[in-house]
Structure 1
């Protein structure tokens, strides 16, 4: 829909994705199905940040979170019909209805834990599912799609803007799905990037991303601090509010008092989940 709207506004939409961008005097050459020249480039390639990497930017990783997801048919007697999140010792599970009548069921954990558990295989994914109390009810006795494993790691691109280019959305600043905010961040950075391109001033854009990152890291610590049942878990230990990584985030705040995160369900009456993870 965004591509269609851009075309209606006068943009040229290429039939295939951009392969490479090369800096030249006065702008960039774009290597795509139809080669082109650009005065400025906006990188909206998501967590991969493919274009920015070619321009010598590097993501500063905040964690090693991955998502192992499967799609299952929905059934009429499901105990919960909205977005559902359940914490376990090695991470957390997420489930939500999809528009096509199916349901996504996903396990979020750190990459080394996922590798040891074999989460990329149907058997390993099923074995991990058994550790849940609620989410396993969504897939009991039903056929499932293959396991798809994708990164869900948070990162901050450094720098996220330079001469003639900007990164927006997850390319500039990727958030943990549990902390939510990915769609909001994408829209805010896109709007700010348009203004920066129009007036040629990158300073306000960089300041916005800095402010968004500071707020996110504090919120991340607070949300993960709600769960206190697994003090010896490597996954939860790595996200303790008193754990600081000065190369990727400011000093996390102590979490505010909150209920245990044994199981949290969206109470929104909307047909679309309120806080869907961004893959």
Structure 2
């Protein structure tokens, strides 16, 4: 499962037989979100000289600025950032402390889960576009090369070792060579699937999200919440018959409100439309008080943004000369708040695996690949157990399609 062993001398030399003008990399990473940027940071910190990030969105593009789901970073993100050599106080970058969760989930009334009571410190409510940009720019500042906008157009193994990668950018097609390639391309897992891995989708969950202006003084806060009114400093989750709602206050006087449901349920109810979405929001028990739905539908009648949030994984985490990280490896249900922490942890583990491949020790390289695959299997197993536990606890509507699909078997 490991690539050819590479000596330190080989790392400093151009790839053998690479055509003149071809981008040559020791490691080429497809995707420059948190998982890809963190992998680049870890590799550069370890001294890998030629790390290339391929990002399909240009810096500052509308796609890059689009609303992102997954705005909460749990307390374990701080130590992971520190391991990457980055500051763990994200407040200095404009992000808000995240102290815990409020939920109306099991029918036993509203409950609070405070991180400080667990002794785990606090996490962060993120401006995701700013956070992603910060990680990407940190990787570039530390020596990674960014190719953007560019997408994967093809990949083939080179007879002499490594890969030839076809890329498509604004000027047309270009090629690159790399000894190792990393799939950080998100839930589509473009690289892993091109190399024969299969995506296994476990449900049909989607997120319908809006970003609205929000005054933290709006809403009546329950007793015992952190300083500030409303639900500042916490995420809020409310279970409903068709799924569940998520809300959090974001930097810049904004709040994100998201309905999680299955794609067929959303289609049948027309929830991708502004009016139907607002009506469902207005029918909630508690959310409508914490973040009142705008009276004029959604501002200018805008419909919610729709994202896939399905639980999924690839059936192979690693192969000879390639490795998957982040959502390309395992796409988590947002209910677990595992996405960002999981992406950073994958990046550190993948970088360690790649360094062992480069060590020149064939036995260590093989063991590293096997270890990474087992780590992915263990992570998936723990995640599925946690997912079932969460949904079973919240099932006040056991016969409703959304909940019956997730019931413990």
C-alpha distance in structure 1 between counterparts of 2:175 and 2:141, whole Å: 21
Gaps of 5+ in 2: 1-133, 221-229, 358-364
1:15 aligns with 2:115: no
C-alpha distance in structure 2 between counterparts of 1:211 and 1:175, whole Å: 14
1:44, distance to aligned residue in structure 2 (A): 0.6
C-alpha distance in structure 2 between counterparts of 1:232 and 1:24, whole Å: 50
C-alpha distance in structure 1 between counterparts of 2:195 and 2:382, whole Å: 27
C-alpha distance in structure 1 between counterparts of 2:401 and 2:282, whole Å: 20
C-alpha distance in structure 1 between counterparts of 2:151 and 2:326, whole Å: 17
1:24, distance to aligned residue in structure 2 (A): 2.8
Selected match of 2:252 from 100, 105, 110: 100
C-alpha distance in structure 1 between counterparts of 2:293 and 2:274, whole Å: 14
C-alpha distance in structure 2 between counterparts of 1:71 and 1:6, whole Å: 28
CA deviation map 1:92-134 (0-9, x unaligned): 0011111121111110001110110111110221222233111
C-alpha distance in structure 2 between counterparts of 1:46 and 1:123, whole Å: 30
2:392 aligns with 225
Q: Displaced runs of 4+ in structure 1, greater than 6 A?
A: none
CA deviation map 1:176-201 (0-9, x unaligned): 11122112211121111111111123
CA contact (8 A) 1:20 1:51 kept: no
How many pairs were matched up?
242
Name the stretch that deviates more: 70-79 or 216-225: 70-79
Of structures 1 and 2, the larger Rg is shown by 2
SS at match of 1:40: strand
CA contact (8 A) 1:97 1:103 kept: yes
CA contact (8 A) 1:41 1:164 kept: yes
1:29 aligns with 2:196: no
2:347 aligns with 190
Selected match of 1:179 from 294, 311, 336: 336
Selected match of 2:378 from 211, 223, 230: 211
1:29, distance to aligned residue in structure 2 (A): 2.4
2:8 aligns with none
Q: Structure 1 length normalisation: TM-score?
A: 0.82
SS at match of 2:156: strand
Q: Structure 2 length normalisation: TM-score?
A: 0.57
Cα 1:226/1:6, change in 2 over 3 Å: same
Instruction: Report 1:60-75 matches (<5 A).
Output: 60-75=200-215
Cα 1:117/1:37, change in 2 over 3 Å: same
**C-alpha RMSD of the superposition:** 1.6
C-alpha distance in structure 1 between counterparts of 2:149 and 2:293, whole Å: 40
C-alpha distance in structure 2 between counterparts of 1:74 and 1:86, whole Å: 19
2:137 aligns with 4
1:140 aligns with 293
Name the stretch that deviates more: 143-152 or 183-192: 143-152
Gaps of 5+ in 1: 243-279
CA contact (8 A) 2:203 2:310 kept: yes
C-alpha distance in structure 1 between counterparts of 2:295 and 2:214, whole Å: 9
Name the stretch that deviates more: 165-174 or 73-82: 73-82
1:131 aligns with 2:283: yes
1:90 aligns with 242
1:19, distance to aligned residue in structure 2 (A): 2.7
Task: Indicate the structure with greater helix content.
Answer: 2
C-alpha distance in structure 1 between counterparts of 2:293 and 2:149, whole Å: 40
1:47 aligns with 2:199: no
Instruction: Report 1:244-263 matches (<5 A).
Output: none
C-alpha distance in structure 2 between counterparts of 1:87 and 1:197, whole Å: 42
CA contact (8 A) 1:27 1:164 kept: yes
CA deviation map 1:149-197 (0-9, x unaligned): 1000010101121111111011001111112211221112111111111
